[in-house]
Amino acid sequence: MYTFRKLLFSRRIFITLLIALFVGGVMAYATTQEMDTLAGGTDMLDNIVLSFFMPVMAMIYGSSLVRDEIDDRSITQVVASPMDRMVTYAGYYLGLAASVCAAILLVLTTGFLVFFGALGFGAGSGHVYGSMVALVVIGSFAYSALFILVSVLISHPVYFGLLYAFIWEGYIGSIPGNIRLLAVKHYVRSLGAHWIDVGAISRYNASTPGDAATVLAVLTVGLLVVGALVFRRKEFP
Protein backbone atom coordinates (compact mmCIF):
# COMPACT_ATOMS: atom_id res chain seq x y z
CA MET A 1 0.00 0.00 0.00
CA TYR A 2 2.89 2.33 0.88
CA THR A 3 4.60 1.60 -2.45
CA PHE A 4 1.33 2.11 -4.30
CA ARG A 5 0.74 5.50 -2.68
CA LYS A 6 4.36 6.52 -3.08
CA LEU A 7 4.40 5.67 -6.78
CA LEU A 8 1.00 6.93 -7.72
CA PHE A 9 0.98 10.15 -5.72
CA SER A 10 4.39 11.43 -6.72
CA ARG A 11 5.84 13.42 -9.60
CA ARG A 12 5.16 10.39 -11.78
CA ILE A 13 1.46 11.20 -11.62
CA PHE A 14 2.18 14.31 -13.70
CA ILE A 15 3.91 12.17 -16.33
CA THR A 16 0.90 9.86 -16.32
CA LEU A 17 -1.50 12.79 -16.69
CA LEU A 18 0.58 14.20 -19.55
CA ILE A 19 0.56 10.84 -21.30
CA ALA A 20 -3.21 10.58 -20.78
CA LEU A 21 -3.64 14.07 -22.22
CA PHE A 22 -1.42 13.19 -25.17
CA VAL A 23 -3.35 9.98 -25.87
CA GLY A 24 -6.62 11.89 -25.49
CA GLY A 25 -5.37 14.43 -28.03
CA VAL A 26 -4.28 11.77 -30.50
CA MET A 27 -7.59 9.95 -30.16
CA ALA A 28 -9.47 13.23 -30.62
CA TYR A 29 -7.53 13.86 -33.82
CA ALA A 30 -8.32 10.30 -34.96
CA THR A 31 -12.05 11.02 -34.65
CA THR A 32 -11.66 13.56 -37.46
CA GLN A 33 -10.33 10.91 -39.86
CA GLU A 34 -12.43 8.58 -41.95
CA MET A 35 -12.30 5.04 -40.61
CA ASP A 36 -14.42 2.20 -39.34
CA THR A 37 -15.20 3.37 -35.82
CA LEU A 38 -14.85 0.10 -33.92
CA ALA A 39 -11.88 -1.31 -35.86
CA GLY A 40 -10.15 2.06 -36.07
CA GLY A 41 -10.58 2.80 -32.36
CA THR A 42 -9.39 -0.68 -31.44
CA ASP A 43 -6.27 -0.31 -33.62
CA MET A 44 -5.49 3.07 -32.11
CA LEU A 45 -5.74 1.77 -28.53
CA ASP A 46 -3.76 -1.34 -29.50
CA ASN A 47 -0.92 0.66 -31.07
CA ILE A 48 -0.75 3.55 -28.64
CA VAL A 49 -1.61 1.98 -25.30
CA LEU A 50 -0.90 -1.75 -25.47
CA SER A 51 2.12 -1.75 -27.75
CA PHE A 52 3.78 1.52 -26.84
CA PHE A 53 2.79 3.17 -23.58
CA MET A 54 2.30 -0.01 -21.54
CA PRO A 55 6.01 -1.03 -21.62
CA VAL A 56 7.12 2.61 -21.46
CA MET A 57 5.02 3.40 -18.39
CA ALA A 58 5.98 0.15 -16.68
CA MET A 59 9.58 1.19 -17.32
CA ILE A 60 9.00 4.70 -15.90
CA TYR A 61 7.45 3.33 -12.72
CA GLY A 62 9.34 0.08 -12.33
CA SER A 63 12.92 0.87 -13.19
CA SER A 64 13.16 3.53 -10.50
CA LEU A 65 11.14 2.07 -7.63
CA VAL A 66 13.68 0.05 -5.63
CA ARG A 67 16.64 1.86 -7.19
CA ASP A 68 15.39 5.24 -5.95
CA GLU A 69 15.11 3.85 -2.43
CA ILE A 70 18.58 2.31 -2.68
CA ASP A 71 20.01 5.60 -3.96
CA ASP A 72 18.36 7.84 -1.35
CA ARG A 73 18.94 5.09 1.26
CA SER A 74 15.37 5.15 2.48
CA ILE A 75 15.48 1.39 1.91
CA THR A 76 17.58 1.05 5.09
CA GLN A 77 14.52 0.91 7.35
CA VAL A 78 12.98 -1.76 5.14
CA VAL A 79 15.97 -4.09 4.87
CA ALA A 80 16.94 -3.59 8.53
CA SER A 81 13.51 -4.78 9.65
CA PRO A 82 12.64 -8.36 10.63
CA MET A 83 10.43 -8.79 7.58
CA ASP A 84 11.71 -11.51 5.25
CA ARG A 85 13.28 -9.77 2.30
CA MET A 86 11.49 -12.03 -0.18
CA VAL A 87 8.17 -10.90 1.33
CA THR A 88 9.38 -7.30 1.15
CA TYR A 89 10.22 -7.77 -2.52
CA ALA A 90 6.79 -9.25 -3.19
CA GLY A 91 5.27 -6.21 -1.47
CA TYR A 92 7.24 -3.86 -3.68
CA TYR A 93 6.17 -5.86 -6.72
CA LEU A 94 2.47 -5.84 -5.89
CA GLY A 95 2.56 -2.10 -5.20
CA LEU A 96 4.39 -1.49 -8.45
CA ALA A 97 2.09 -3.71 -10.54
CA ALA A 98 -1.00 -2.05 -9.04
CA SER A 99 0.45 1.43 -9.72
CA VAL A 100 1.45 0.59 -13.29
CA CYS A 101 -1.96 -0.97 -13.86
CA ALA A 102 -3.81 2.07 -12.48
CA ALA A 103 -1.69 4.49 -14.52
CA ILE A 104 -2.12 2.61 -17.80
CA LEU A 105 -5.83 2.12 -17.19
CA LEU A 106 -6.14 5.88 -16.77
CA VAL A 107 -4.47 6.37 -20.16
CA LEU A 108 -6.51 3.61 -21.79
CA THR A 109 -9.78 4.91 -20.39
CA THR A 110 -9.00 8.48 -21.47
CA GLY A 111 -8.29 7.34 -25.02
CA PHE A 112 -11.36 5.12 -25.10
CA LEU A 113 -13.73 7.78 -23.75
CA VAL A 114 -12.41 10.50 -26.06
CA PHE A 115 -12.65 8.36 -29.21
CA PHE A 116 -15.83 6.41 -28.65
CA GLY A 117 -17.43 9.25 -26.72
CA ALA A 118 -17.10 11.42 -29.82
CA LEU A 119 -18.07 8.82 -32.40
CA GLY A 120 -20.58 6.83 -30.34
CA PHE A 121 -19.97 3.81 -28.17
CA GLY A 122 -22.07 1.49 -30.31
CA ALA A 123 -22.12 -2.29 -30.10
CA GLY A 124 -18.80 -3.97 -29.44
CA SER A 125 -16.87 -1.03 -27.96
CA GLY A 126 -17.62 -2.16 -24.41
CA HIS A 127 -16.25 -5.62 -25.19
CA VAL A 128 -13.10 -4.11 -26.73
CA TYR A 129 -12.60 -1.91 -23.66
CA GLY A 130 -13.13 -4.82 -21.24
CA SER A 131 -10.66 -6.98 -23.16
CA MET A 132 -8.10 -4.19 -23.25
CA VAL A 133 -8.48 -3.71 -19.48
CA ALA A 134 -7.75 -7.42 -18.96
CA LEU A 135 -4.70 -7.20 -21.26
CA VAL A 136 -3.44 -4.12 -19.41
CA VAL A 137 -3.75 -5.93 -16.06
CA ILE A 138 -1.87 -8.98 -17.38
CA GLY A 139 0.76 -6.88 -19.15
CA SER A 140 1.28 -4.66 -16.09
CA PHE A 141 2.06 -7.64 -13.89
CA ALA A 142 4.47 -9.11 -16.47
CA TYR A 143 6.32 -5.86 -17.22
CA SER A 144 6.48 -4.95 -13.53
CA ALA A 145 8.18 -8.26 -12.73
CA LEU A 146 10.80 -7.45 -15.37
CA PHE A 147 11.45 -3.83 -14.48
CA ILE A 148 11.57 -4.31 -10.70
CA LEU A 149 14.24 -6.98 -11.22
CA VAL A 150 16.17 -4.58 -13.44
CA SER A 151 15.97 -1.87 -10.78
CA VAL A 152 17.47 -4.23 -8.19
CA LEU A 153 20.21 -5.51 -10.50
CA ILE A 154 21.38 -2.39 -12.32
CA SER A 155 22.65 0.93 -10.97
CA HIS A 156 21.12 2.98 -13.78
CA PRO A 157 18.01 0.97 -14.69
CA VAL A 158 16.41 3.80 -16.67
CA TYR A 159 18.95 3.42 -19.49
CA PHE A 160 18.27 -0.30 -19.73
CA GLY A 161 14.54 0.39 -19.44
CA LEU A 162 14.62 2.91 -22.27
CA LEU A 163 16.53 0.51 -24.51
CA TYR A 164 14.21 -2.33 -23.64
CA ALA A 165 10.94 -0.42 -23.95
CA PHE A 166 11.80 1.38 -27.18
CA ILE A 167 14.23 -0.93 -28.99
CA TRP A 168 13.30 -4.39 -27.78
CA GLU A 169 9.55 -4.16 -27.29
CA GLY A 170 9.01 -1.42 -29.85
CA TYR A 171 11.26 -2.70 -32.61
CA ILE A 172 12.17 -6.36 -32.08
CA GLY A 173 8.64 -7.14 -30.93
CA SER A 174 7.28 -5.80 -34.20
CA ILE A 175 9.58 -7.71 -36.58
CA PRO A 176 7.76 -10.53 -38.36
CA GLY A 177 9.01 -14.04 -37.63
CA ASN A 178 9.95 -15.93 -34.51
CA ILE A 179 12.14 -13.19 -33.09
CA ARG A 180 9.04 -11.41 -31.83
CA LEU A 181 8.52 -14.37 -29.51
CA LEU A 182 11.20 -12.73 -27.36
CA ALA A 183 9.03 -9.72 -26.56
CA VAL A 184 6.38 -9.59 -23.81
CA LYS A 185 4.17 -7.58 -26.14
CA HIS A 186 3.86 -10.58 -28.45
CA TYR A 187 2.19 -12.74 -25.79
CA VAL A 188 -0.10 -9.97 -24.56
CA ARG A 189 -1.31 -9.32 -28.09
CA SER A 190 -1.63 -13.08 -28.76
CA LEU A 191 -4.04 -13.27 -25.83
CA GLY A 192 -5.85 -10.22 -27.17
CA ALA A 193 -6.27 -11.89 -30.56
CA HIS A 194 -8.54 -14.46 -28.98
CA TRP A 195 -10.58 -11.97 -26.97
CA ILE A 196 -11.04 -9.16 -29.50
CA ASP A 197 -12.61 -9.83 -32.87
CA VAL A 198 -12.01 -6.51 -34.63
CA GLY A 199 -8.97 -4.63 -35.81
CA ALA A 200 -5.40 -5.79 -36.43
CA ILE A 201 -5.07 -7.42 -33.00
CA SER A 202 -7.80 -9.92 -33.92
CA ARG A 203 -5.59 -11.21 -36.76
CA TYR A 204 -2.50 -11.51 -34.55
CA ASN A 205 -2.29 -15.24 -34.08
CA ALA A 206 1.39 -16.19 -33.70
CA SER A 207 0.81 -18.03 -30.41
CA THR A 208 -2.16 -19.94 -29.06
CA PRO A 209 -3.88 -18.36 -26.03
CA GLY A 210 -2.77 -21.31 -23.92
CA ASP A 211 0.87 -20.88 -24.93
CA ALA A 212 0.70 -17.11 -24.46
CA ALA A 213 -0.86 -17.41 -21.00
CA THR A 214 1.66 -20.07 -19.98
CA VAL A 215 4.64 -18.04 -21.18
CA LEU A 216 3.38 -14.90 -19.46
CA ALA A 217 2.72 -16.76 -16.21
CA VAL A 218 6.09 -18.55 -16.22
CA LEU A 219 7.92 -15.35 -17.18
CA THR A 220 6.20 -13.30 -14.46
CA VAL A 221 6.67 -15.86 -11.70
CA GLY A 222 10.21 -16.68 -12.86
CA LEU A 223 11.29 -13.04 -12.88
CA LEU A 224 9.64 -12.52 -9.51
CA VAL A 225 11.42 -15.47 -7.90
CA VAL A 226 14.80 -14.50 -9.36
CA GLY A 227 14.29 -10.91 -8.23
CA ALA A 228 13.30 -11.97 -4.70
CA LEU A 229 16.37 -14.21 -4.40
CA VAL A 230 18.67 -11.44 -5.66
CA PHE A 231 17.07 -8.95 -3.25
CA ARG A 232 17.45 -11.35 -0.33
CA ARG A 233 21.21 -11.63 -0.86
CA LYS A 234 21.80 -8.03 -1.86
CA GLU A 235 24.14 -5.85 0.18
CA PHE A 236 23.17 -2.26 0.99
CA PRO A 237 26.43 -0.44 1.73
Partner 1 sequence: MTGAIVAAKALSKWYGEVIGLNSFDLELHEGITGFVGPNGSGKSTFFKLVSGLIRPSVGQIRVLGEDPWANQPLMARLGFCPDYDNLSDEQTFRSFLAFVGGLHGMRGPTMGSRIEEVARIVGMGEHIDRRIGGYSKGMRQRTKIAGAMLHEPELLLLDEPLSGTDPLGRREIIALVQSLHAEHGHNVIVSSHVLHEIERLTPQVAVLYKGRAIATGNIQEIRGLIDKHPHNILVESDRLDELAKRLVGLPCVVSMQFSPDRTGLTVQVTRPEEFFAAMPGLVEAVGCRVRRMLSLDDDLESVFRYLVG
Residues that bind partner 1 (CB under 8 A): 2, 72-74, 76-85, 232-233, 235-237
CA distances from 84 to 89, 90, 236 (A): 9, 10, 15
Nearer to partner 1 among residue 119 and residue 226 (C-beta): 226
Nearer to partner 1 among residue 36 and residue 84 (C-beta): 84
Chain mean position to CA 3 = 17
Quote the least distance from Cβ 2 to partner 1, whole Å: 6
> Which of 69, 53, 66 is CA-nearest to residue 16?
53
Quote the least distance from Cβ 156 to partner 1, whole Å: 18
Quote the least distance from Cβ 80 to partner 1, whole Å: 5
Chain mean position to CA 159 = 17
Angle (CA) 59-62-67 rounded to 5° is 120
Quote the least distance from Cβ 6 to partner 1, whole Å: 9
Nearer to partner 1 among residue 26 and residue 78 (C-beta): 78
CA distances from 159 to 16, 83, 148, 154 (A): 19, 31, 14, 10
Which phi and psi angles does 233 have, rounded to 5°?
-100, 10
Nearer to partner 1 among residue 76 and residue 155 (C-beta): 76
Quote the least distance from Cβ 237 to partner 1, whole Å: 5
Nearer to partner 1 among residue 1 and residue 123 (C-beta): 1
